Structure 1
Amino acid sequence: MTHRLKRLLVPVHDAAAVDAALPRACRLAACLGSVVEVLYLRGIAVDRVLLGEGAPPAALRHRLDEAEGAEDRRMAAAQAAVDLHSGTHPGTQVRWRVAAGAETAALARHGRLCDLIVLPRHRGNATTVHGPQFNAALFETGRPVLLLPETGDALPVSRVAVAWDGSVQAGRALADALPLLAGAESVTVLRVSDDPQDGEAEEVVAYLADHGIAAAARRVAPAGSVADTLRAEVAAAGIDLLVMGAYGHSRLRERVLGGVSRSLLSSAPVPILLAH
């Protein structure tokens, strides 16, 4: 069976999100032979209006008109940004779609009919880690998420690391990443363990070999937290994509106690492919 990522979904709510994600998504799509679908999440204007108690109907109508106008301008700017970036990537098919209503519900619905969701992480963007769009993409679609760092042009990728902890989430991320691993120049399976007899990384390498993917196993003893260890390994090896399962523990436990997912997603300088 051929593993393919044929439809990449880029959810946006303004031009800044388009600028942050679409150029990199187009470069990745060109390597994979994929279509990029930009999904504009249009808010409902009435939700942006503060309905003051006792406000005259005319005042409410004025506020609603202003909110609608602002949303129209925001959407037009986003579409113009899509047209601009599409023009610089003529070999990639880029589709524009608009989903009105609750953003998270729309993203969840459309996300289930794609192969990979590409989310930018940049200041002031609602798709930042732990934001509603990120949560909807990761937890409500059943699809992998490619979280992009705020800066950098590290797509397509050549050096990939798979963070393996043996969890269900790690297994899903590994399977979802097969098309990217197949095109990489090097693949390293990272296993953070202080047990010299731990052979799980080698088992993953054997699994990848059955898919025609050559990989190397690397077991490293934890130096500080697991997240710090992985971060150091990624930097030292010049990795440009990290593949990992997300939130093997509950989100509440990660929030209260901290965790590998929370720590890495908040500060990783490279794209991360996630699955839950």
Structure 2
Amino acid sequence: MSIRTVLLHAAPDSGFDDRLAFAVALARQTGAAVKALYTLYPAGVPRVGRALSIYVNELVHEAKEKEPAFKAKFEQALAAAGVAGTWTVVDGEVTSALRDEVTFADVTVVSETPYGTVDDQLAATLPEHLALACNGPVAVVPTGKPVPARIGRALVAWKPSREAGHAVRFALPLLATADEVEVLTVEEGDPAATASGARLVAWLNSHGVNARHHHAKDGAAGVTIANEVQKFGADILVMGVYSRSRLAEMVLGGVTASLLVDPPAALLVAH
């Protein structure tokens, strides 16, 4: 399997330029086309109440006015990179609109957005909601951080869970094009983690992936993963999300929550 379609969430928030650059670079590296879905309806706002409807209608009107400028950016970026693509405008709930398209795309690109503009604040919960709702991988691009021209180094945060397994299988076409892949396991009271990491490396090698294993005996997983991203110089972090319930993550804290809030690099996640 190879990456042939990159689905891009297009909307007038401050993360658009960074995720556009990431989507185009990914498409150029893998020979894919980019399908942009420009969503008029704001993320995270239910269609309830007259007053709220008036507010939503104003946001939709603003999104329509901004659409030509964002479409022009999209077309210019594709032309400069020599990448094919399409631009579609949809008037529907964002997560649902994207979820309907994920089945027919190989990677979906969204952003981690800071709490800046109204559009940013409304889009802030989109990555986790989409990752939980979709049957494909989601790339979460940090806003305001350097965007790699290509994915040369990939870090896989591994533990033998269903979610991590899904993420690695979805990421396999991308991992095969990377120069170096590191599989990171963190012990956290599970001495069997290192053996599982070694087995994953052997499996990746059998698929032509240039992978090696690094095992960390000490440290909390979230902090260790973030530090290793910087140490390894990873362009992307591959990981499963919410291997325990979202409620448990909210109460106890968790790796998914910490890394989605402040990604150390672009994330490729799956549930």
What range is the shorter-chain TM-score in? 0.7 to 0.9
Change (3 A) 1:166 1:77: same
Residue from 159, 182, 188 that aligns with 2:176: 182
Query: In the alignment, does 2:214 pair up with 1:218?
Result: yes
Q: Contact between 2:156 and 2:183, CA under 8 Å: does it hold in 1?
A: yes
SS at match of 1:207: helix
2:256 equivalent in structure 1: 261
Residue from 208, 225, 231 that aligns with 2:226: 231
1:202 equivalent in structure 2: 198
The one-letter amino acid of 2:132's match is F
1:141 equivalent in structure 2: 134
Change (3 A) 1:64 1:189: closer
Change (3 A) 1:67 1:154: closer
Q: CA deviation at 1:275?
A: 0.7
TM-score by length of 1: 0.85
Query: For structure 2, which runs of at least 5 residues remain unmatched after alignment?
Result: none
The one-letter amino acid of 1:145's match is V
SS at match of 1:143: coil
The one-letter amino acid of 1:99's match is V
Percent identity between matched residues is 31
CA distance in 2, matches of 1:182, 1:207: 12
CA distance in 2, matches of 1:149, 1:168: 25
Residue from 192, 198, 215 that aligns with 2:186: 192
2:151 equivalent in structure 1: 157
Structure-to-structure mapping, 1:57-206, within 5 angstroms = 69-89=61-81, 91-123=82-114, 124=116, 125=120, 126-128=122-124, 131=125, 133-150=126-143, 151-193=145-187, 198-206=194-202
Query: For structure 1, which runs of at least 5 residues remain unmatched after alignment?
Result: 54-59
SS at match of 2:140: strand
CA distance in 2, matches of 1:227, 1:52: 41
Q: CA deviation at 1:80?
A: 2.5
Q: CA deviation at 1:81?
A: 2.3
CA distance in 2, matches of 1:101, 1:264: 28
Which structure is larger by alpha-carbon Rg, 1 or 2? Answer: 1
Change (3 A) 1:16 1:82: farther
Residue from 27, 41, 44 that aligns with 1:43: 41
SS at match of 1:39: strand
SS at match of 1:177: helix
1:244 equivalent in structure 2: 239
Q: Contact between 2:179 and 2:210, CA under 8 Å: does it hold in 1?
A: no
Q: Contact between 2:138 and 2:268, CA under 8 Å: does it hold in 1?
A: yes
SS at match of 1:14: coil
Q: What do you get for the CA RMSD once the two structures are aligned? A: 2.5
Q: Contact between 1:48 and 1:67, CA under 8 Å: does it hold in 2?
A: no
TM-score by length of 2: 0.86
Q: Contact between 1:111 and 1:137, CA under 8 Å: does it hold in 2?
A: no
